[in-house]
Structure 1
Amino acid sequence: MRVVQHPSPNCGPRRNWQTPSVIVIHYTAMNSADAAIDRLCDPRTEVSAHYVIARTGIVTQLVPEEVRAWHAGAGEWRGQADVNSRSIGIELDNAGGHPFPEAQMHMLETLLGNILSRWPVSPEDVIGHSDMAPGRKCDPGPRFDWTRLARQGLAARTGGDTGSQDPTPGQFRSKARRAGYTADVDDDALLAAVRLRFRPYATGPLTAADVSALQHAIPAR
């Protein structure tokens, strides 16, 4: 796989000697990959990512994987707040409202496979920005094909027995926490984040299907 190198100054050492154990997928919310790369390399913005994947499938590396990029911001995953220090950030060239092209998805799958072979990251810890920052972030959004990644063992699977009774918010939160959703947010924001990932077009109040969607997202540890 060919990777274009375009170093960003917006990075630093990982804190507390942490190594990558999470991959966070974003979309750029900009008009082009070049515009996103320019922003992620501008020291005035104080933001970056390890990789940008253009709609054409071109992969650009901005920050070495062993270094801390500034992509995640405020949020939490599995009880850890400094997600930047233990994650690799991948930005997908997408303005937020259109599908992700085949060339881009293919290169994302290749890159994810390579990263998972280098670092102790489980498929259940390949997440979206919205997973670690419920209510604050919505990328990579409802049009991102998580099921495609899950079929190849590159992300958590979804689905399971829906059961016969609708859960309480407390039961849902307990299941979501076991799946990694530990950010301190209200019930509505938590439900929206889980649905965005596993049931992107679901609406209405909490149901048993929302709990069952998390069944395979809980790692066997």
Structure 2
Amino acid sequence: MVLYDNATQIKSTHYDARPNADDVSLLVIHNISLPPGEFATSGIRDLFTGQLNPHAHPFFKEIAHIRVSAHCVIYRTGVIEQFVPFDARAWHAGISSFQGRQRCNDYSIGIELEGTDTLPYTDAQYLALENLSKFIILRYPRITIGRIVGHNDIAPGRKTDPGYEFDWPRFRQSLFTVEP
């Protein structure tokens, strides 16, 4: 079981075994906020653990039945929660394809950033994402810069996250910095 030590472990039941555990070769960046546009709520955690109360917010009625997860969520504060071990298949990509290959959940790791397409992400999130991504790349060397994408890249027309406010150049450049 591959876990990130700098994350709080929260068990989701919304995952299963990968068809080939040696095939992890894609990192997908997402965004999420529940309710939409609201931060620091339990909505994300509740959704990924199957405990979202459909009566807590009108939007929740539409999604409470959905069984989804991501490997990790990075909150606006930089705090990371891990819901699914990296060697298991989280249910984050949905109908998706990358370079002609379908079913991205089979071979990808999904990281959610607490946010929206239209609001800048925090410095704490970029730092946490950098460190987490370096950890993942070290363990899964088939994930290269060209194989780190947004949800919008693997589900175009269906998804827009992480949105135009995500600073791809800043993030990619951070992956080349070497710790002293």
Shorter-normalised TM range: 0.7 to 0.9
Contact 1:18 1:85 in 2 (8 A): no
Greater RCO between the two (CA within 8 Å, min separation 6)?
2
Match of 1:56 in 2: 77
Letter matched to residue 32 of structure 1: F
Identity score, percent: 38
Q: Could you list the runs of 5+ residues in structure 1 that have no partner in the other structure?
A: 155-221
**Superposition deviation, residue 87 in structure 1:** 0.3
Match of 2:31 in 1: 27
In structure 1, how many angstroms separate the alpha carbons of the residues matched to 2:78 and 2:27? 19
Structure that is richer in helix per residue? 1
CA RMSD of aligned residues (A): 1.6
* TM-score, structure 2 as length reference: 0.80
Aligned residues: 154
**Superposition deviation, residue 40 in structure 1:** 1.2
Q: Deviations over 1:79-98 (max 9, x none)?
A: 11010010000000013321
* TM-score, structure 1 as length reference: 0.66
In structure 2, how many angstroms separate the alpha carbons of the residues matched to 1:75 and 1:128? 11
Q: Could you list the runs of 5+ residues in structure 2 that have no partner in the other structure?
A: 52-64
Is structure 2 residue 147 aligned with structure 1 residue 125? yes
**Superposition deviation, residue 149 in structure 1:** 1.7
Is structure 2 residue 34 aligned with structure 1 residue 11? no
2:90 corresponds, among 65, 69, 82, to 69
In structure 2, how many angstroms separate the alpha carbons of the residues matched to 1:132 and 1:41? 24
Aligned residue for 1:63, secondary structure, equals coil
Change (3 A) 1:124 1:80: same
Is structure 2 residue 120 aligned with structure 1 residue 99? yes
1:38 corresponds, among 37, 42, 46, to 46
Match of 2:6 in 1: 2
In structure 2, how many angstroms separate the alpha carbons of the residues matched to 1:110 and 1:103? 11
Aligned residue for 2:135, secondary structure, equals helix
Q: Deviations over 1:14-47 (max 9, x none)?
A: 1245531000000014223531111111174210
Higher CA-based Rg: 1
Aligned residue for 1:114, secondary structure, equals helix
Match of 1:190 in 2: none
Worse overlay, 11-20 or 59-68: 11-20
In structure 1, how many angstroms separate the alpha carbons of the residues matched to 2:144 and 2:27? 9
Match of 2:55 in 1: none
Letter matched to residue 19 of structure 1: D
Letter matched to residue 49 of structure 1: A
Residue correspondence of structure 1 range 1-221 to structure 2 within 5 A = 2-30=6-34, 31-32=38-39, 34-42=42-50, 44-119=65-140, 120-153=142-175
Aligned residue for 1:15, secondary structure, equals coil
Aligned residue for 2:160, secondary structure, equals coil
